[in-house]
Structure 1
């Protein structure tokens, strides 16, 4: 019998997927020494990633006259840059990320049985399969990186070059392990998208629970509790949106640049195997953006559904004071919670994702026409 995926198991899986990069925030009572070790580890990850990035950049510059080698060298530049961007965001907003994560964990620890049933039915059962697939896909790609040199008879998993001879042992083995470790970093940092999505989905789940609670209140005292809970939830959701923003921006930026490069590679005269690889990487990039757009869209609707739930109450049978309080809730709920990208970009939603796809395909079509006109 298939084991059921629960809320606690979902959090455990996401947490485990980030283990190698020590990304999940520590508790508030953690010793300063452990916090310092975590930050030092992040800096070490940056240095290791920069070393691989430098070797691939060197190979890129050295192979400008060889199209296939040039493309192979460029494929790993953006995922490694993505790792550095995520780590810098993590260090910059660590306290805010720690705060919202601990509140999420407290909510999951104190959740009531009937609330857990609603969360299970409305969220875990519907969305866990997709994000589990994405996490598996990211780490399966890493497995392909492991076996690549064996199958393709190549010296290293990623195309890289050095100003010294790295073809002899033990330098070759050290370089190989170095690239595998950075490959683990890349897979784990792609799973950060699932972590951010988890924060958004559980913020939406709390709005859903509040909606169900509002439909059952019968007196002003219960309403006062719900209003207080609503205000706290709005503050928390805004904090989650602000926390997700920089990571979403990094993902959108590197995914966009990667997709444009992949499209450029696809329409040039490269080998069929490279084209298949570009299709696979482009699919992964599109999935990354969708992992943010889907929960952000849901949060927009569920945060405004509070007003509908209040309106459906028997407010016409209540006192004037009761109705005025309901009116306050309705007015506040008309402003949705948006995950607005920095730098003047629009908010994340499925409409934005559709526009994003349209723009990418427009770039791809334009580049194809330009190449056809130039006879390349």
Structure 2
């Protein structure tokens, strides 16, 4: 099925799954009325997340003596807090996202046959995985309200309100509001897929340039390729500069979330409750992987682009061209998604170390809890 998905359809798919987060900017040609509706809806969804975040924060205080309810409230509050965090960052980076997306769409629409073939190869390679991940994110957001059918809790979360909530229609309104926030959390997790899309598109452009370098046979063409390389590198750095903040938010929340979800999984809780937190734990770890995989690929592709000149028939070229090729083969620094003093290089190696640290904390928690029970 995903073999027939075009790059334009892949972009439209990502735009649809992040709709509830409102991180996808409007076109620069959007009318004033459309921009106004966009901002109003974004503000309403932002406020909706806060309407659950504050009651969850109050629940953390109320149930501070109850380890199970406390951990559940903290875990869900962390899932909700990512909504205003991501939303605030996307508002701040609105113009940059708009430029990056419009250039991406323009390249896909105006690309020649070879360029579209490379873009299509990326869609075929990554499309099924990211589509399945998006489905998992939304399924996880749905399990929280669905799980209330099998447990005694009247609401999807243990949020505490300073007013009675047992009567109708207040009870139904709160249930629907909390369910909507669950879908907003799913959409916020899909922002990692949005960042992955930008990084994969950038990597595809590096591959296109790599193939072009292999076929050039004169100095003018080499100069043109070098200019394209540095222009593309500037674009790639803009992509990583936007993705690093999303990555930092995801990493921070995922690490803490995994610890508190682990407490629920270790404890003697009903299977329905554990199922909710198995989904939550799997989702946050998957969210980190969403960015780690394309970031790792971008490192290798950006580093190997200029080396592709060695794969051309440089030995058949005149001495002048061979000297120019020698200059082109000077090692170039790769495009790395990094956060100063926190993440030296976000890659699959870093992701493995992150998983190792999470498992170490999980093991330590298990030992402490079993000692307390004994």
TM-score by length of 1: 0.92
* Equivalent residues of 1:193, 1:292 under 8 A apart: yes
1:322 aligns with 2:326: no
| Aligned mates of 1:309, 1:174 — CA distance in 2 | 60
| Aligned mates of 2:271, 2:156 — CA distance in 1 | 19
Superposed CA deviations along residues 94-131 of structure 1, whole A, max 9, x for unmatched, are 1111111111111111122232222323x112211111
5+ long unaligned stretches in structure 1: none
* Equivalent residues of 1:214, 1:310 under 8 A apart: yes
Evaluate the alpha carbon distance shift between residue 262 and residue 72 of structure 1 in structure 2; reply closer, same or farther with a 3 A threshold.
Answer: closer
Evaluate the alpha carbon distance shift between residue 50 and residue 298 of structure 1 in structure 2; reply closer, same or farther with a 3 A threshold.
Answer: same
1:115 aligns with 2:115: yes
Superposed CA deviations along residues 26-57 of structure 1, whole A, max 9, x for unmatched, are 22233455445434433332221111011122
Matched ranges for 1:356-371 at <5 A: 356-371=354-369
Evaluate the alpha carbon distance shift between residue 314 and residue 196 of structure 1 in structure 2; reply closer, same or farther with a 3 A threshold.
Answer: same
What is aligned with 1:88?
Answer: 88
What is aligned with 1:182?
Answer: 181
* Equivalent residues of 1:148, 1:154 under 8 A apart: no
1:63 aligns with 2:55: no
1:353 aligns with 2:354: no
Q: Report deviation, 1:11.
A: 1.1
TM-score by length of 2: 0.92
Report the more deviating stretch, 22-31 or 270-279: 270-279
Matched ranges for 1:1-376 at <5 A: 4-32=4-32, 34-121=34-121, 123-152=122-151, 154-331=153-330, 334-375=332-373
* Equivalent residues of 2:289, 2:351 under 8 A apart: yes
Report the more deviating stretch, 140-149 or 185-194: 140-149
Aligned CA-pair RMSD: 2.2
| Aligned mates of 2:353, 2:69 — CA distance in 1 | 33
Structure 1 stretches of 4+ with a deviation exceeding 4 A read: none
* Equivalent residues of 2:214, 2:309 under 8 A apart: yes
* Equivalent residues of 1:246, 1:342 under 8 A apart: no
